[in-house]
Structures are given as structure tokens and as C-alpha cells.
């Protein structure tokens, strides 16, 4: 089989042994899983040829992009790793249509740069944007910090190209905002984590680049009034809030300990710190006045000043430069770095209705104290969309104890009508949760779809779907 792969792709694009070893590690830990080999096709036709051979030989295949996943979806001992890294062309930026035609191996930050050069943005953004690739973002339906304004990855995809398990190419690369021609296979494949097909390309929705940003750190004594505050700011700015991110005091302390040279947002350590960002589009908000101040920044300053006078917030700091804005975002985007400094850890990525985030945090903390009194946490939240990253540091390494803690938090999520995975996906880390918590009818339907599109179970086997 390896000889045939070398004939298809060239000897240099089939990696084995030490050359393949880096692809056997998961970013989030979990040990080493040696691949059979790593193949690096350069076109959709080559991906199709690889999949035809894998289907013929019954070889399991793991589609892989930037290797920044957090749910253990990119590993498999003895499997053929299909890396999309060479399929990295931005085929076209369509300025008039505000769309981009890209291959799956395009790094997210590179697409950001290409779009911004045309006065546009691709609004999907998260901490791993410098290495994460479009294919992986689609495969996991990634979220990030701007979901509040722009939606998840699924909301940003107009068309898709993929290769099925038997090598069939599905070409849905249409730049259409409306297309009611049957089942939406595009949305089926987005979020499927490589278990149904290899995503090779996409038509992505671009947005106008804001002419100015107003970014602030806001201190509060209590998280409960934060949602009302967000709703008022949304109304006052015409829905221009792009991010509303919650960081508790211990998160800020951990960040400052990790980065001793970083500046604290406030002299004191308030219980609640909110990173707030507004993206202004209208010229009246983006054109500097005679004093050089941006109207949207001045407006936010006045708004926060009124909140401060009313006692609704305890302090606020507004970014006065691009570097200050970057400093604020650096703290928020250090969440994975902070979580990665301690072991053992359990990364929980949950979503609840936006008006139940405070209730979740209170009840989850109480459940954790009951289940493991000495456990610690690191919490951040995309407060505007109800997504909470709740990382637990248990007192001991014990699979049974870990499951007990996870189930305790799951119970709270279920009681509040939430979801146990918001944006990280399922991979292998949440298979037991899927078995416990996913609606049985939904699981049966998912297994039927999997069996129809991948009857040999060669597409990223063992991920997403728990055994029947």
C-alpha cells in the first residue's frame, strides 16, 4: 500500500517512521499514537485517489489540518494520517460578493491577512489562528470570540468541497446565499470531525472590516448584572458588540503569574473582568475628530462612565492604541496556555442559554466542591453566546474519579438545558459523555448516516460516535 501511495503522491509526500512521528501527538496531551504513515496530497484529485486506495484496502484514515484540536480527534494508532497542509491556496477573494474561495489547508491568520488587504474580514478568530487551518475549523464547527456578532463557522460557509470514503468528490462550491436544492450536505459535513468525509475546500463568507474598534476591560463586583449590561450596549451601538468575554479574578492572577511583565488591567483584583469590544462601520463612528479621538471610543467612554456613576460597574479601562488592544486580547486568548500549566486537568467546553451562565457557574462550583473539595478551576466564558470553558484541576489522577467529576458537571448542564460541547467537538475525549447524554434517537440517526456514507468505518474511526 505504501508503494502505491508513493506512486500516487511522490515518495517525499509519504512520511513514515521518525518523519511521521510529529503527527502522532495530540496538542492536548494523551500520549503518542504512531500513524501507519502520513500522506500529504496537493489537490482534491489526489485526496480522491488516496481515499479510493484506503477504501480498497480497508485502511482507516484520519484527516488532519493544523493539529490544534482540544478533543483528541486527530490521533489513531496504525491509521493513515491525511494531512491537508499542502492544500493551502486561497484561490480567490471575491470582493464584490464578499466571499473567499479557499483550500482546506489555508491557515486562518493567512486568510485574515488576505481579506483585510481588500478591506474585508473573515470574522472567525481564536487563539490558535496562527496554526489552525480552515479544514479543521469546518470539521469542528469552531466558534471563537466573535460568535456574538458573526456566528459559528457554520454560519460563515456558503459552499463546500469534500471527498467521501470511497473517493467520490462532492463539489458544492457555490457562492450562494440561498440554495434550497435538497438535503444540506454542507451543514452535515461541517462539524462531522472527519468521520464522514475529507473537507478539501470551501467558499467562505467575508464581512466588511470595521473602520474602528472600541475595546475595554470592565470591572464588576458581581457577574449577575453583566447580561443586562451587554443588552444595553448592543442597543446603544446598533448591535455592534463583537466580543463580551468573562474572566474571573483567579484567571487574571494565573495570567499575570505566567507573564510577569504583563500589566494588570486594574490596580485591584475585581471578582469579574469583562473584555468588551465594539466594531464600528459607519464613517461617523470611525472618523477621528479634531482632537484625534475616535467617536466610537468616545461614545463607549461616555457609556461606561454613566454605568460607573450608577454603580453598575466598579472600573473600566479603554484601549487607546492598537498595542493596548492587543494586550487586552492576549490575556483572554491565553486560556489554553493557562489550562495547560497544570496536570491533571479536565477541559469542559459547555454551552447554556445566555441567561443561565451565572446559574451554571454557581451550581457547577457547588457540585465540584461536593465531588472533590480540593479541586481547582480555570474559567473563561464567551458570555454573549453562553459558552463557558470550565477547566477542572482534580486532586488525583483516577479515571473513575474523573468520570465522577465530569458527570457532576454534566448534570448541571442538563438541568439548565445546555449542551456538553459548545465549540471543541467530541473527538475521543467526550465519547462517554455522548453515550450518556445524547438523545438516543439522535445517536441512532447519526449512526445511520455514518453507515451510509462510510460503510467500512474507515473515516476517523472511534471519534465522535460512541460504540452502539
Measured from the Cβ of residue 429, the count of other Cβ atoms closer than 10 Å reads 24
DSSP 8-state class, residue 67: S
Residue pLDDT, tens place only, 312-338: 999 999 999 999 999 999 999 999 899
Percent helix, strand, coil in the chain (nearest 5)? 35, 20, 40
Question: CA 113, CA 122: separation in Å to the nearest integer?
Answer: 9
Q: Which CATH number fits domain 212-333: 3.40.50.300, 3.30.450.20, 3.30.70.2190, 3.40.630.10?
A: 3.30.70.2190
- Residues with Cβ within 8 Å of 402's Cβ and at least 6 positions away in sequence, in order, are 344, 346, 394
> Quick check: 360 and 351 in contact, CB under 8 A?
no
β strands within 130-280, DSSP E: 157-164, 169-172, 197-205, 207-208, 212-220, 241-248, 272-280
How many Cα atoms sit within 13 Å of 174 on the Cβ side? 11
Among 363, 345, 365, 380, which residue's Cα sits nearest to residue 143? 380
What are the residue boundaries of the structural domains of the chain, listed by start?
A: 2-83, 90-208, 212-333, 339-437
Query: In this predicted model, what pLDDT tens digit does every residue of 333-354 receive, in sequence order?
Result: 999 899 888 989 999 999 999 9
Cell of 370: 461536593
Coil, strand or helix at 118:
coil
Measured between its terminal Cα atoms, the distance across the chain in Å is 31
Give the CATH number of domain 339-437: 3.30.70.2740
Task: Give the three-state DSSP class for 423.
Answer: coil
CA-CA distance, 382 to 146, in Å (whole number)?
9
- Could you say which of 3.90.226.10, 3.40.710.10, 3.30.43.10, 3.40.50.300 is the CATH number of the domain covering 2-83? 3.30.43.10
Residue 17 CB: number of other CB atoms within 10 A?
8
Q: Is 83 helix (H, G, I), strand (E, B) or coil?
A: strand
Give the strand order in the sheet containing 61-64: 14-15, 37-39, 80-83, 61-64
Cα(227)–Cα(244) distance, rounded to whole angstroms? 9
Residue 163 · residue 48 · CB < 8 Å: yes
pTM for the full predicted model: 0.94
The domains spanning 2-83 and 212-333 adopt the same CATH topology: no
Of 153, 147, 90, 148, which Cα lies nearest the Cα of 118?
A: 90
Which three cell numbers mark 260? Answer: 510577569
Strands 37-39 and 80-83: parallel
Name the strand (E) or helix (H) holding 413.
Answer: helix 399-415
The CATH architecture annotation of domain 90-208 reads 2-Layer Sandwich (3.30)
pLDDT of amino acid 378: 96
Crossing angle of helices 2-9 and 44-57, in 10° steps, is: 170
The Cα 387–Cα 393 span in angstroms is 19
- pLDDT < 50 stretches in the chain: none
So what's the pLDDT on residue 29? 63
Number of H helices, E strands in the chain: 16, 18
> What is the Cα–Cα distance from 157 to 270, expressed in whole angstroms?
39
Report angle CA 207, 208, 213 to the nearest 5 degrees. 110
Which pLDDT does position 30 carry in this prediction? 67
Amino acid at each position: 500500500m505504501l508503494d502505491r501511495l508513493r506512486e500516487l503522491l511522490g515518495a517525499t509526500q509519504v512520511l513514515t517512521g521518525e518523519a511521521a512521528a510529529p503527527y502522532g501527538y495530540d496538542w492536548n496531551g494523551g500520549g503518542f499514537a504512531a500513524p501507519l504513515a502520513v500522506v500529504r496530497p496537493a489537490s482534491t484529485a489526489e485526496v480522491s485517489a488516496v481515499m479510493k486506495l484506503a477504501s480498497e484496502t480497508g485502511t482507516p484514515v484520519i484527516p488532519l489540518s493544523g493539529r490544534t484540536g482540544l478533543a483528541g480527534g486527530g490521533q489513531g494508532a496504525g491509521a493513515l494520517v491525511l494531512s491537508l497542509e499542502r492544500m493551502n491556496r486561497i484561490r480567490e477573494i471575491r470582493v464584490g460578493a464578499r466571499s473567499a474561495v479557499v483550500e482546506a489547508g489555508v491557515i486562518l491568520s493567512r486568510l485574515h491577512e488576505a481579506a483585510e488587504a481588500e478591506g474585508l474580514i473573515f470574522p472567525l478568530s481564536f487563539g490558535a489562528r496562527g496554526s489552525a487551518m480552515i479544514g479543521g475549523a469546518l470539521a469542528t464547527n469552531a466558534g471563537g470570540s466573535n460568535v456574538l456578532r458573526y456566528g459559528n463557522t457554520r454560519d460563515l460557509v456558503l459552499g463546500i468541497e469534500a471527498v467521501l470514503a470511497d473517493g467520490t468528490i462532492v463539489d458544492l462550491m457555490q457562492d450562494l446565499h440561498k440554495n434550497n436544492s435538497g438535503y444540506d450536505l454542507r451543514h452535515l459535513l461541517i462539524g462531522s470531525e472527519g468521520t464522514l468525509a475529507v473537507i478539501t475546500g470551501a467558499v467562505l463568507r467575508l464581512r466588511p472590516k470595521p473602520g474602528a474598534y472600541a475595546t475595554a476591560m470592565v470591572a464588576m463586583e458581581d457577574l449577575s448584572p453583566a447580561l443586562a449590561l451587554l443588552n444595553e450596549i448592543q442597543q446603544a451601538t446598533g448591535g455592534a458588540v463583537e466580543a463580551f468575554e468573562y474572566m474571573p479574578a483567579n484567571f487574571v492572577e494565573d495570567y499575570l503569574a505566567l507573564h510577569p511583565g504583563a500589566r494588570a488591567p486594574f490596580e485591584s483584583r475585581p471578582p469579574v473582568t469583562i473584555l468588551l469590544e465594539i466594531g464600528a462601520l459607519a464613517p461617523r463612528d470611525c472618523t477621528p475628530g479634531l482632537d484625534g479621538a475616535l467617536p466610537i471610543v468616545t461614545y463607549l467612554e461616555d457609556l461606561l462612565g454613566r454605568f460607573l456613576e450608577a454603580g453598575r460597574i466598579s472600573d473600566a479601562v479603554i484601549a487607546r492604541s492598537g498595542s493596548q488592544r492587543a494586550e487586552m486580547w492576549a490575556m483572554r486568548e491565553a486560556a489554553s496556555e493557562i489550562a495547560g500549566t497544570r496536570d491533571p486537568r479536565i477541559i469542559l467546553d459547555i454551552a447554556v442559554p445566555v441567561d443561565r451562565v451565572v446559574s451554571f457557574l454557581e451550581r457547577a462550583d457547588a457540585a465540584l466542591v461536593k465531588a472533590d473539595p480540593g479541586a481547582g478551576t480555570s474559567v473563561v466564558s464567551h458570555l454573549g453566546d453562553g459558552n463557558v470553558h470550565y477547566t477542572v484541576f482534580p486532586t488525583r489522577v483516577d479515571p473513575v474519579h474523573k468520570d465522577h467529576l465530569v458527570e457532576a458537571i454534566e448534570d448541571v448542564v442538563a438541568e439548565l438545558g445546555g449542551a456538553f460541547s459548545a465549540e471543541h467537538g467530541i473527538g475521543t475525549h467526550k465519547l462517554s459523555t455522548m453515550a450518556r447524554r445524547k438523545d438516543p434517537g439522535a445517536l441512532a440517526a447519526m449512526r445511520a448516516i455514518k453507515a451510509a456514507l462510510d460503510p467500512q468505518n474507515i473515516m476517523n474511526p472511534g471519534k465522535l460516535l460512541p460504540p452502539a
